[in-house]
Amino acid sequence: DGGITQSPKYLFRKEGQNVTLSCEQNLNHDAMYWYRQDPGQGLRLIYYSQIVNDFQKGDIAEGYSVSREKKESFPLTVTSAQKNPTAFYLCASSPMGTSSQETQYFGPGTRLLVL
């Protein structure tokens, strides 16, 4: 777990503003994921990436964008098109090609609040 970091811990967004959440891992994991957590709804998948320069939409991708230019980094941008962005955002990573490839390890999260 300690190999996945997210920043900032808290982020405030003004209406109409795009904000970017950082996620970095030094575990040499190939796959990375972004989840959104709202009270009483569990974790919902926003985007995931299996390899550099490739990513796939999850269940709630509208209003979000990602990039994967480096294996270690998977930033998430919350765009102004996301009308209800207040939530706890969790980044995760997992190895591939091993017996434990499904196991996902989470970062500490970023809490996004709208001003």
Partner 1 sequence: GENVEQHPSTLSVQEGDSAVIKCTYSDSASNYFPWYKQELGKRPQLIIDIRSNVGEKKDQRIAVTLNKTAKHFSLHITETQPEDSAVYFCAASRGTSYGKLTFGQGTILTVHP
Query: Which residues contribute to the site for partner 1 (CB under 8 A)?
Result: 1, 31, 35, 40-45, 48, 50, 56, 58-59, 90, 94, 96-97, 101-109
- Which residues, at least 6 apart from 11, have a Cβ–Cβ distance to it below 8 Å? 19, 21, 110, 111, 112, 113
Min CB(49)–partner 1 separation in Å: 8
Min CB(113)–partner 1 separation in Å: 14
The candidate with the shortest Cα–Cα distance to 31, out of 67, 76, 71, is 71
Which residues face 34 on adjacent strands? 47, 91
Q: Which is nearer to partner 1, 5 or 18 (CB)?
A: 5
Q: Which is nearer to partner 1, 17 or 56 (CB)?
A: 56
The candidate with the shortest Cα–Cα distance to 55, out of 40, 65, 42, is 65
Both tokens of 45, joined, read: 């998948």
Min CB(31)–partner 1 separation in Å: 5
Min CB(55)–partner 1 separation in Å: 10
Q: Which is nearer to partner 1, 58 or 63 (CB)?
A: 58
Q: Which is nearer to partner 1, 82 or 93 (CB)?
A: 93
Residue 68: Cβ within 10 Å count? 19
